[in-house]
Amino acid sequence: MSLRSRAADVVALDEMSARAVGVLLGRSEASDVVDGQVALVARQREAWVISSDVDDPLRLDPDLEVYPVPG
């Protein structure tokens, strides 16, 4: 899948989002900003996540719908 695909969104990490990600990471005792941004956007958009490590986004938000990368 290409980043130009309609199935993928590229979302900017602005200051407000960065602060929200920081709060989410702090509460979860995590440090991966990308995982935090993915979890935050998925929650906001009520979207599901495809990840090579399904435990990472679920640690940040256990209510996310997360699927492993196929293959």
Tens digit of pLDDT for each residue in 40-59? 999 999 999 999 999 999 99
For residues 68 and 51, the answer to whether their CB atoms sit within 8 Å is: yes
- The tally of CA atoms less than 13 A away on the side-chain side of residue 27 is 12
Check residue 1 and give its pLDDT. 47
Check residue 70 and give its pLDDT. 79
Global pTM value: 0.82
Residues of the chain with pLDDT under 50: 1-2
CB atoms inside a 10 Å sphere around CB 19: 10
* Three-state DSSP state, 66: strand
Check residue 6 and give its pLDDT. 67
